[in-house]
Copies of this chain bind each other. A is one copy, B any other.
Amino acid sequence: MSLKVAVAGASGYAGGELLRLLSGHPEVEIGALTAGGSAGTALGLHHPHLVPLAGRTLVETSAETLAGHDVVFLALPHGQSAEIAEQLGEDVTVIDCGADFRLIEAEAWVEFYGGKHAGHWPYGLPELPGQRDKLRGANRVAVPGCYPTVSTLALLPAVQGGLVDPGQLVVVAVSGTSGAGKGPKTHLMGAEVMGSATAYGVGGVHRHTPEIEQNLGAVTDEGVSVSFTPVLAPMARGILATCSAPVTPGVSAESLRQVYEDAYGNEPFVHVLPEGQWPQTQATLGANTVQLQVTLDQRTGRAVIVAAMDNLTKGTAGAAVQCMNLAAGLDETLALPLVGVAP
């Protein structure tokens, strides 16, 4: 099999990471690469690391340029996916790296994003219970946000198993700056971010908050509440999420750990580290992996789970390719690195 794929928004960070992974995919032929303002320029100007594709020319993002492909990846600002997806037939698999089709509740969409809710597509987190089957053969996939992926995977086993109080979840996630995209902004300039850490979207206003609650709410009957704070750190890639919640009375460190090992023992991309070893983002750089560790703080009675992930790989583009593999009936792990680039 050879899938002809197009990437819309190829000049951005998600687009570049998609092409890095797809260029090594044995069942993929790379077709149209589209962009907005950069249309007409060489891909290599924007992504000199994509050596084999450097000479390819970006074309305008449109239904016409995206037509004739088996799979279309959308790596566009939110709000642009719905219109394009409608013009692509049902026989085209559309994988949206944007936010448009992630939220089920229109109300949450309106509150956090504003404008009309476009609907929702199968959610591209195969590690959720039952989700893998829904993605097999899907022709529309909404790839999760980076923070929701790592936060959900960190908290899922404990919430699903009833080991923690889902009404008191706290997540503080340190992120590299590529997660904010490639559009030039003063507060993301090198001189601003190097040597500095800063919080943003504090107080439950970050758009990824309802997505995390949606994911965790699906595995518990209790009310879910997530206090989520993202922190920008001076690194290009990587998220380290520190998650905690009060444990249910009687839960021990051993039972907590066991639940995580059971949950992820067969997952190809989610790895519980050996006891005592804590995740570092560097170990996941460029890989489609999540590394996590769990402990019980005996003094406070809180479970603490720390998870590391590359926001552009498992957090965006790797997840998208994983979903494409499932949608197309391929081996789910094809072309997805297990090994990070460190140091």
Contacts and interface: CB of A to CB of B under 8 A. Distances in A.
Count the copies. 4
A203 B298 CA distance: 7
A193 B174 CA distance: 14
A311 to B, nearest CB: 10
A285 B20 CA distance: 12
Interface string A308-343: 100000000000000000000000000000111111
Interface in A76-106: none
Contacts of A52: 338-339
Contact of A293 (B197, B202, B209): B202
Interface stretch (A40-48, A113-121, A135-143, A259-267): A40-48
A244 interface: yes
Interface residues of A, number: 92
Contact of A199 (B188, B193, B279): B279
A331 to B, nearest CB: 16
B172 A182 contact: no
A185 B231 CA distance: 22
A122 B287 CA distance: 35
A194 B236 contact: yes
Interface string A220-256: 0000011101010111111010101010000000000
Interface of A: 13, 16, 20, 23-24, 42, 44-45, 47-52, 168, 170, 172, 174, 176-178, 182-186, 188-200, 202-204, 209, 225-227, 229, 231, 233-238, 240, 242, 244, 246, 271, 273-274, 277-287, 289, 291, 293, 295-302, 304, 306, 308, 338-343
